[in-house]
């Protein structure tokens, strides 16, 4: 299949992973699609970054896009069916007022774009379940096969043994949980990634940062039908992860296979203390199991196969 992929494409498969760069999900998905023999035509979503490219002139069988800001205006000009893939939680199910302005923008964009698509894939399963259009499909993200693999811890390792890699201010629930963890563990917990792009690490830098430590996922924002892709990312780096239990995580990693789940914050503390102390020697085996499960079931290659299969089903129903 020839696929027009409109997104924020970086310059190359690994060059974008400089310090402070963001994840290259666009590159990971492009690469995964190409492994199945599809031809991917990469076009920048920002019209000002296109040089001599008119979308109306491109002949392909499918258009794929992520968070294309001008999609509602440009999709009607295409000569092919289109599908979107939206990674984040579209609307907070807890009604967090600190997230309300962001949610309003996301929902407005979705309402303008989804009707123009053959199908629209979302990692936010709660939003999908409320759908009545039949256009929405629940599809989680995956691990970037180009950069996965266990990281390497420094020797000697003098870093804090606990790590949270992400932004603290991403809703009240996450912020309060990180604050409680900092109050309990103090300088034994490192928060990596808060305070702007310069504080973030990705790809092999992040793999090394996670190696040998307990990676903690706070209890928000997430539900039984949504969790952050940090779980899959961390397991793809061979990290030991303590994660809030939710059905979607268990579907990806099983019940106790490669991930340690907690039910509430009290249990989270108990598990952290156990794996810092008497159960520390079990961490490596659990992390190895999570990495193997990622390779088997949770790569972007697996998600791309699901997406293309669903597209094929919908296209066949139109003929």
Residue ranges of the chain whose pLDDT lies below 70 = 11-22, 195-198, 319
pLDDT at res. 119: 98
pLDDT at res. 18: 37
CATH 3.40.50.2000 fits 2-144+300-318, yes or no: yes
pLDDT at res. 318: 82
Neighbours of 156 (CB within 10 A): 6
Instruction: Report the C-alpha gap between 64 and 4 in whole angstroms.
Output: 6
Question: Do 65 and 101 contact (CB within 8 A), yes or no?
Answer: no
Question: Do 298 and 232 contact (CB within 8 A), yes or no?
Answer: yes
pLDDT at res. 196: 66
Neighbours of 276 (CB within 10 A): 15
Residue bearing tokens 């409109």: 6
Domain covering 162-297, topology: Rossmann fold (3.40.50)
pLDDT at res. 94: 78
Instruction: Report the C-alpha gap between 295 and 54 in whole angstroms.
Output: 38
pLDDT at res. 11: 57
> What Å distances lie between residue 241 and 71, 145, 237, 265, 302, CA to CA?
37, 19, 11, 15, 22
The pTM for the full model equals 0.94
Query: Which backbone phi and psi does 269 adopt, to 5 degrees?
Result: -65, -40
Instruction: Report the C-alpha gap between 18 and 16 in whole angstroms.
Output: 6
Domain with CATH 3.40.50.2000 in the chain: 2-144+300-318, 162-297
């Amino acid at each position: 299949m020839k696929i027009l992929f409109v997104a924020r494409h970086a310059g190359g498969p690994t060059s974008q992973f400089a310090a402070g760069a963001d994840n290259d999900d666009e590159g990971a998905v492009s690469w995964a699609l190409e492994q199945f023999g599809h031809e991917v035509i990469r076009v920048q979503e920002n019209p000002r970054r296109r040089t001599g490219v008119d979308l109306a002139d491109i002949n392909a069988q499918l258009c794929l896009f992520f968070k294309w800001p001008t999609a509602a205006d440009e999709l009607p000009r295409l000569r092919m069916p289109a599908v979107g893939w939206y990674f984040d939680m579209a609307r907070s199910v807890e009604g967090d007022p600190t997230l309300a302005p962001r949610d309003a923008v996301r929902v407005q964009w979705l309402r303008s774009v989804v009707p123009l698509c053959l199908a629209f894939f979302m990692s936010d399963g709660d939003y999908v379940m409320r759908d009545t259009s039949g256009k929405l499909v629940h599809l989680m993200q995956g691990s970037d096969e180009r950069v996965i693999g266990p990281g390497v811890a420094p020797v000697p390792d003098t870093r804090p043994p606990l790590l949270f890699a992400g932004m603290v201010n991403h809703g009240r629930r996450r912020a309060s949980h990180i604050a409680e963890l900092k109050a309990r563990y103090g300088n034994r917990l490192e928060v990596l990634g808060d305070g702007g792009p310069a504080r973030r690490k990705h790809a092999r830098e992040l793999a090394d940062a996670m190696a040998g430590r307990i990676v903690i996922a706070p209890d928000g924002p997430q539900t039984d039908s949504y969790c952050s892709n940090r779980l899959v990312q961390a397991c793809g780096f061979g990290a030991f992860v303590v994660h809030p239990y939710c059905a979607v995580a268990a579907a990806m990693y099983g019940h106790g296979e490669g991930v340690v789940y907690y039910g509430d914050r009290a249990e989270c503390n108990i598990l952290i203390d156990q794996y810092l102390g008497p159960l520390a020697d079990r961490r490596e085996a659990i992390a190895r199991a999570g990495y193997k499960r990622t390779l088997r079931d949770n790569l972007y290659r697996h998600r791309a196969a699901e997406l293309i299969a669903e597209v094929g089903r919908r296209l066949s129903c139109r003929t």
